[in-house]
Structure formats: C-alpha cells, structure tokens
Structure 1
Amino acid sequence: MSASIASGAAIGAPPPARRLRSGTMASYGFGAAAYGVKDSGFGTFLLLFYNQVIGVPAATVGFVIMLALVIDAFVDPTVGFLSDRTRTKWGRRHPWLYGSALPIMLGWVLLWNPPQSSQAATLGWLFVMAVLVRSAVSAYEVPSQAMAAELSADYDERTRIMATRYLFGWLGGLIMLIGAYWIFLSPTPEYPNGLLNPAGYKSFAIAGALFMGFAILTSALGTHREIPNLPNPVIEKQSLKKNFADLRETMNNRAFVILMIAGLFVYTNQGITYAISNYLYTYVWQFTTITVVGYTLPTFVPLSFSLFGGVLVAFVVAPKLGKTTSKPKAASVAAVLAIIIGTAPYWLRLAGVFPQVGEPAMLPLLFAFLAAGTAAGVTAHILGASMMADVVEDSEQRTGRRSEGVFFAGGFFIQKCTSGVGIFATGLILAVAGFPAKAVPGQVPVEVVDRLTIIYIVTATVLALIAAVAYRKFPFGRAEHTARLEALRMQALDSDRVDPVP
C-alpha cells in the first residue's frame, strides 16, 4: 500500500471504530427519508407530470432537467468543500442540516405548481425550480452523507450505517409513492387514471414538503449530541488558489474515481428505471386496481410494499455480505443479479412465456421478480456507499486532509444523475419508441409498447454490466483499511508527542 503525506499536513486521529447507539443510528438514517421523497418525486412523477399533465414533450422535459445537472456539477463539490471547512459551535455539518430545511420545502411546493403560461415559460419555471430544489437538497444531503464516515471508522459498521440510511431513504420514497397512488393520485370519476389529475399533484407537493422538513430536522436534532465526537480537524487559512489545488489533489484518488464511474452507470440505470416505471406499469402491465383481503386498492400500492420488502432484504443481506466477502466483489455480483432479475419479466413477456395481463398469476409473479431485483440492486448501492466512506482514510493518509464532504459530494452528484440523465434518457427512449403524449392505457399499439420495452431493457442491461465491472476494480478491502487506520492513529500520536518548533 503506497501512500504519501502532503507536505506540512497535520494528521488527526480518525474517528473511533465504534458501534453506534440505536437512537443515533435511527436519527441519522431517518434523515435520508427526505432524499427518498425528492428522489421518488423527481424520478417517478416529474417527467409524467410535465409531459402527460402539463403537455410538454417528454424529450424536452428530460433535456431541461438534465441541463440543471450543469449547475449541480458546481453546487455539489462546493457544498462538500465548504462543509469540510465549516467551523462553528455546532461543528462542520449541522449548520448545513438546519439551514436547508425551509428552502427544500418551499422549492418542492413551487416545482409542482407551474404558472399557466406558454410552453417556454413553463420550461423556464421547471429549470429554475429544479435547480433550487436540487441545490437545497445538496446543502442537506452532502453534509449528512459525509457524517457516515465520521460517526464510525469501523469497516463493517459503515456498511450497517449505509444500510440504515438506504432503508429510511427507500421508506420515505415508498411512503410518498403509496400516498400518491392511494390518496393524492388515486382514480376519480373525472380522472379514471389518477396520474393525470392536476389537483392531486398540488396535495402531493405539500405533503412531500412537510415530510422532508420533518425528516431533516428530526435527523439534525437526533444527531446533535454527537457533534463533540465528530472529527474537527484544524483548518489553516489559505488562498483561493491553494483551496482549488487541495480540491484537485483530493479528488485525484483512484478509488474515488472508480466509485464515481460505477455510480454514474448504476444510478443512471436507476434513474431510467424510475422515470420509465409508470409508463411500463401503466401501458405494458396495465395496472388498475387489485383486491386484497376484501379491499380494492390501486395496483401500485401492493407493488410499493413488495419493493420495500426487497429493501428490507438488502438491509439484512448487505452488511452480512460485507462481513463475509469483499465489498467490491459483492457489489459487482449484486449489480449483475439486479439487472438479470429485474428485467426478466420483460424478456419473458416478449418471449410469450410470462402470464398475460389479467391472468391471476401475472401480478404475484411480477411483484416477486421486482422485489428480488430491488433487493439485489439496493445491496449494490449500500456496498458502494460504504466503500465511499472507506475512501476518506485512504485520502487522508495520502493528503493529510479529511475530505468527507468532497467525496460524498461527488457521489451525491452521481446519484442526482438519477433524475437528470435518467429522465433525459427516458425522454429519448419514449421519442425513439414513438410513444404518444396523453396516451390511453390499452389503446397504445402493441408494436410501440414492445419497442419501448426492448429499448429500455437493452439500455438498462448495458449500464448495469459496466457498473459491475467498475465495482470489481475497486483497489482495496478490509485488510488495507484496517492497516490504514492503525497507521493514521500512530501518526496522530507521533504528532501529539512532538513539541511545536518555536
């Protein structure tokens, strides 16, 4: 293991390799519910809302949202860098957590309430509000994710921390999905397809804003007592030029670059799947309602529960895999299994061997495949995020700086490609497939539905396989991480023993 300490850098002791208290773990993880709400809204409904409800072409909506990524490319690393260098009585991260709640809530409500105007004005509104929401989310999510590497340095505990974070993130998203399908966007006499009801989106926006604000403040308050235990390295004043030089040096890390590449493909794949899911469920599988123990529910409700079942499996499986095998290998295998299982119903349908729409076996079998695919996919995400936390000490040993914010800002930017590149790619897929605007379920030509399905599953498979190869290239595991922690502790002790030169 090669490493070089930056000239003049002062190594501080890494955080303790401890197991977190249950209250701290729950409070920290619950904050991710806010991102889950944002992610489900952006990924599942935003394209559908502006395309099918407002009437803007899908490819144009996707392009405008992707343009907002240009702003994100500057916002995310800036937030991460500033968060790393923030010094207050509330530590480095918590001022950002508290300050982000209100902007996120306001931006979210405005995003789903565009003024009635020309198409150009609507697109302008979408762009500005998308930038506002995602920038405000960055101000919360980047410092919050960075805390994962600060709460514990233990190799396995970090996987458990990330598993808890993903569990609550998915829970927040699925609660909003269930609320949308069952309450806000449920069928009415005026709108048999509730997803096309404009009024429902207004209530959806208000509920989502309140939920996000509650999750953020609960997490910030619940972890506030940990502030004295978090690393707070001394930061010397230096020029802007030197700040940028430090930032470049920090990001020039092979392990970090590999995770960025893997994340780019895995999260873009997730983004496409999220954005296109309503089209697939509505026009391929023709979801309407289902009767469960005497109650008639929108089909999306039991689907959401089955997906969350997959997340629960990942919550248990990912930490166990991280303990019994290498994280890179496990993440790679999980990514491959996710795409094989997740796309299997579509391949089988095209081959004519999957139960047809309306047959009793179709929905249970489809739900089982989707739950299992979700379990594998979330397992890969958890392990990838845990590896990102391990990169922090690798960088600290090489540069002498703890840069959690910078690294997780890069990872978070890639995650937000979920709702940027993913929506843009879905818009292109819909355009290439010739999918009509304001389409009526059951009346779209079969060849169009089949073309849409084929383009999607081929695209998703290619992206997942590239991500799996990238995960395999991650350069270190448990043994190297343990040795690195010990070396950092010894360097910190040596630094404490040496009196400063007068």
Structure 2
Amino acid sequence: MTQTTSPALPRSAIWAFGLVAMPLSTIGLPLAIYLAPFYAGEMGLSLAALGTAMLIARFADICIDPFVGAFSDRLRSRFGRRKPFLVVGSVVLLLGMSQLFNPGKGVTLVYFLGWLAVMYAGFSLIQVPHRAWGAELSPFYDERTRISSVRQFFSTGGLIVSTLVPAVVLGQAGAKSSDVLFALTVMTVIALPIVAGINLYFTPEPAPTPRPPRARFDWKANWRALRRNGPLQCILLVVFIGFSAETFRQTLTVFFARDVIGVKNLGLVYVYYFISAFCGVPCWRWVAKRTSKHHALAAGMVIAICTNLGLYLLGKGDTALFTAMFILKGFCFGALDLLPAAMLADAADVDTAITHKSRNGLLFAVFGVVTNLGQAVGQGASLNALSWVGYHAAGETAPAALASLSLLYAVIPSAALGLAMLIALRYSLTAKRHERLRVLLQGRKALAGT
C-alpha cells in the first residue's frame, strides 16, 4: 500500500497532536471501569439507578455532538476552527471531573447525573473537533493510519498511567477508591493544560475552505448523502455494535474479576493489559498497511471474541489464566480503537465527493454520537442486567447470579462483536479506491483555485 506523494507533515506536529489523547484516556478508564463500583459500593447508590443515570447523561451528550461538529466546521477565527474548542473543552472537562471524582458526603443521584453530563460535554467539546482536525492533517490513506496510531499510542500510554495510579495509591495503608480518584484528578488538572498548549503550538490547522453561506440545516439532503456513502454507513454500524459490546463488558470487569475469578489486584492486571495494547499499536498499523484497515479491524475482533469465550470457561482461583487472556485481549485493543477513526477519515472523503463540501466536523460529530450511543447502551444495559439477575455489588451474591454474570461478561459481548466483524468485512474503501478518490478531490480543488 503506497502513496503517490510523500506527505510533508512534520513528525513533531503529529506527535503534538496525539499527545492530547493521553490525559483524556487517563480520565476515560476510571469513568468506564471504576466509577460505578465507587458510587455503588462507597456512596450507596443503586446499580440500576447509576445505569439509568449514565444512559441519560450519554443521551444528553449525543444531543451536543452534532452542534459542536457543525459549529466547528463553520467557525472562522484568528485561532482557527478546531483549536478554540480544545481550550474551552479542557476547562469544562476539568470542572466536571473535579466534582464527579471527588464527591462530598450524602451525594445524590442528581449530583452524579449533573456532573457526569458536564464531564461528557467537556469530552465532546475536545474530541469532536480534535478528531476532525486529525482527518484534515493529511489526505493520504496510510498517513491517516499513522496519525491515528500516534494518537492511540498516547491514548494507551494514558491508560497505563490510569492503571498504575490505582496500583500505587491502593498500596498505601488505609487507601480507598476515593483516594485513587483524587490522585487522578490532580494529575489531570496539571497534565491536560500542558499537553493542550503543546498541541496548539506545534500542530498547524490546515487553511479552511471559504465559509459556506448560512443556510437552514437540510435533514433530507444530509440523509440522502449518508445513504449514498456506503463506507460511512458500514463503519458507523461497526462502531455502534463494537462500542456497545466492549462497554457492556468493560462495565462488568470489576465485578467479574473480583467475584467470579477472585482477582486481588485488578489494577495490576490492567497495567499488563495496557502495556500489551501499547505494544500492539505499531503491529496493527503494520497489519493495516500490509493488508487493509478493515481486514486488520476484523482480525482484532476475532482475537477479542476468542479471548472473551475463553474467559467464560474460567472460575474461582484462575487468576493466572485470567491475566494471560486479559493480556492477549489487550493486544487487540489498539485495532478496535485506532482503526475506525482512520477509516472514518477516508469515508469522509466520499462525503466530500458527494456533497462538494468539507464536513469533517459534522461527520466526526456523527461518529461521536454513534460512539456515545453505543457506550450508553453498553453501560445502561449491563448495570440494569446485573440488577435484573440479582447481583449485589456491596454484599453476598448467589451462585446463580454469578453464573449469569459470567454469561453477561463473556458470551453476550462476543456475539455482538461477531456481528460487527462480519459487517467490517463489507467495508469497500480500499487503499487503491481511496487513492483514486484523493486524486479526484485534488483535481476539483485545483479547478476551484483553492
């Protein structure tokens, strides 16, 4: 898979761009893994109520994403289109995190829901324009995989940090989950402004096309453009099913590891998991370059399915086998996280060819909506399913409920990932087809004199 022209984007610009993913992922893991057990076990809120609150907050976030994307597409300022959102989003995110991760006594469900919604809004303000910015850094098929790989490299590094912090903090006498969340808050409050500043300084924003005339949003025209874009439909469907399945499983990990397997230090297991994921990122980039992005993504899903089903066969005391399978699953994490964004950047070029407009912000907002919807379904469904089968996070659980937990954790997500894998294999935008598309768009741009 080669490119006809070498990209001129400096390496420093790509690495500065990807650096922002590190503090974001440092927050993201405790948000997905530790927050529900903390609020259920230490704050006394019910799992069903937490699951419903997470679902509501996600749906509120879904309503924000399209407006953020469309506004960032239209914005013309001396600072660029995407950069102002990184600044504003960082402030909102840090405010929400400081309140959500460090609640006072007598916390209520309304408190949890409100600050979770603020935190999600901060994520949207950063991630939607930032991903669109990444797609605009290069028009080349393989170079976009490189950009996504660097971003995933730092994202996985942040995940390693977010697993090391609990391991270190909880190793201190008398430490609690609240101490872990406080340490993560302090670290992120320091790190996020620094890396955002590095990104703003070193990474250029491509010159925008002339601002389109203000017009009413045409839902029918946009829906027709979406229906004509087969690769975009394919990757969005894969992302929705895949994120639903993985979030469903991730939300149950603490409960499964603690009560079914008997893992004593899950934080240490997660360190191994993300080190494996860290090592896997360049491997998946290599596989995607030698084959194609969608075939590499499908291969990652096959590994994830096999490890999930293997975990279902484990029981009390199988900590070593659990850790080994978790490490293997970590290796395929990079494929499931980095490749969809790179594939969407290519599918966005199909949209440009159809509509004659650059709408990366809007399309990555749709990507964010689908991602958030998948995560909302996964979080809400998993916690409510746990409550339905009679599982209790803070007390004794019957053997039948533990058996149901194993089924929910391993088998249900595997079935969903199998469906996503079959859909991914139908993705049609190969490197050769994308190169023809890139040449077409370059020709149009030259004729337009822009």
Query: Per-residue displacement from partner, 1:302-324 (whole Å, max 9, x unpaired)?
Result: 32332123212321122212221
1:135 to 96, 105, 121: 121
- Counterpart of 2:59? 70
Larger radius of gyration between Structure 1 and Structure 2: 1
Q: Aligned pair in 2 of structure 1 residues 75, 251: CA closer, same or farther (>3 Å)?
A: farther
Which residue of 2 is the match for residue 178 of structure 1? 164
Query: Residues 420-476 of structure 1: CA distance to partner in whole angstroms, max 9, x if unpaired?
Result: 22221221232133111313xxx6444432221122212111111111122112222
Shift of 1:368: 2.5
Calculate the aligned-residue CA RMSD, in Å: 2.3
Q: Which amino acid aligns with 1:307?
A: Y
Matched, 1:238 2:214: yes
Q: What's the offset of the Cα at 1:43?
A: 0.4
Per-residue CA distance 1:85-109 (angstroms, 9 max, x = gap): 1111222111111222111111101
State the AA in 1 paired with 2:100: L
Per-residue deviation, 1:301: 4.3
* 1:53 corresponds to 2:33: no
The match for 1:423 is 379
Structure 1's 217 and 251: CA in aligned 2 closer, same or farther, altered over 3 A?
farther
1:383-418 superposed Cα distances (whole Å, 9 cap, x missing partner): 222110101211111110111111211222333346
Q: Which moved more, 1:488-497 or 1:167-176?
A: 488-497
Structure 2 length as normaliser, TM-score?
0.91
Equivalent position of 2:447 in the other structure = 494
CA distance in structure 1 between the partners assigned to 2:326 and 2:449 by the alignment: 54
Calculate the TM-score normalised by the size of structure 1.
Answer: 0.82
The residue identity in structure 1 corresponding to 2:231 is A
Conserved in 2, the CA contact under 8 Å of 1:106 and 1:209?
Answer: no
**DSSP-derived class of the 2:211 partner:** coil
Paired residue secondary structure (1:345): helix
2:437 paired residue number? 484
Equivalent in the alignment of 1:302: 268
Mapped pair 1:166 → 2:152: yes
Deviates more, 1:165-174 or 1:413-422: 413-422
- 1:231-251 deviation line (CA, Å, top 9, x unaligned): 411123222345x56654554
In structure 2, distance between residues paired with 1:238 and 1:427: 44
In 2, Cα distance between equivalents of 1:203 and 1:148: 30
Q: Which amino acid aligns with 1:221?
A: Y
The corresponding residue for 1:469 is 422
Question: Matched residues in 2 for 1:232 and 1:58: separation?
Answer: 46
Matching residue of 2:20: 31
Counterpart CA distance in 1 for 2:201 and 2:117 is 27
Compared CA separation, residues 477 and 231, structure 1 to 2 (3 A): farther
In structure 1, the residue matched to 2:340 is 384
Structure 1 residues 69 and 251, CA, compared in 2 at 3 Å: closer, same or farther?
Answer: farther
For residues 310 and 321 of structure 2, the distance between their equivalents in structure 1, rounded to whole angstroms, comes to 11
Query: Partners of 1:233 and 1:17 in 2: how far apart?
Result: 23
Q: Given the alignment, which residue of 138, 160, 163 partners 1:152? A: 138
2:102 counterpart SS class: coil
Pairing 1:214–2:214 present: no
Change (3 A) 1:305 1:20: farther
What does 1:98-497 align with in structure 2 at a 5 Å threshold? Answer: 98-117=87-106, 122-183=108-169, 185-186=170-171, 188-189=173-174, 194-195=176-177, 198-223=178-203, 226-227=204-205, 230-241=206-217, 247-248=222-223, 250-252=225-227, 253-288=229-264, 299-347=265-313, 349=314, 357=317, 362-417=318-373, 419-439=375-395, 444-496=397-449
My pick for the range that moved more, 58-67 or 453-462, is 453-462
Q: For the residues of structure 1 that align with 2:307 and 2:12, how far apart are their CA atoms?
A: 35
Q: Which shows bigger deviation, 252-261 or 49-58? A: 252-261
Query: Unmatched 5+ residue regions in structure 2?
Result: none
Aligned-partner SS, 1:236: coil
Asked whether the equivalents of residues 268 and 422 of structure 1 are also in contact (C-alpha less than 8 Å), the reply is yes
1:42 aligns with 2:18: no
Aligned-partner Cα distance in 1 for 2:378–2:192? 23
Task: Say if 2:72 is the partner of 1:83.
Answer: yes
Runs (4+) of structure 1 exceeding 6 A deviation are none
Q: What is the aligned residue count?
A: 445
Contact 1:310 / 1:372 at 8 angstroms: preserved in 2? yes
Q: For 1:215 and 1:280, how far apart are their aligned partners in 2?
A: 35
Q: CA deviation at 1:220?
A: 2.6
User: What per-residue deviation string (whole Å, max 9, x for no partner) do you get for residues 65-121 of structure 1?
Assistant: 101222222211111111111111222111111222111111101112345447xxx
| Pair 1:96-2:85 in alignment | yes
Q: C-alpha separation between the residues in 1 aligned to 2:282 and 2:183?
A: 34
The change in CA–CA distance for 1:282 and 1:20 in structure 2 (over 3 A counts) is farther
**Do 1:260 and 1:414's aligned partners in 2 also have CA atoms closer than 8 Å?**
yes
Gap change, CA 1:321 and 1:110, over 3 Å in 2: same
Identity %: 19
The answer on whether the counterparts of 2:22 and 2:156 sit within 8 Å (CA) in structure 1 is yes
Shift of 1:419: 4.5
Shift of the 456–287 alpha-carbon distance from structure 1 to 2, 3 Å rule, reads closer
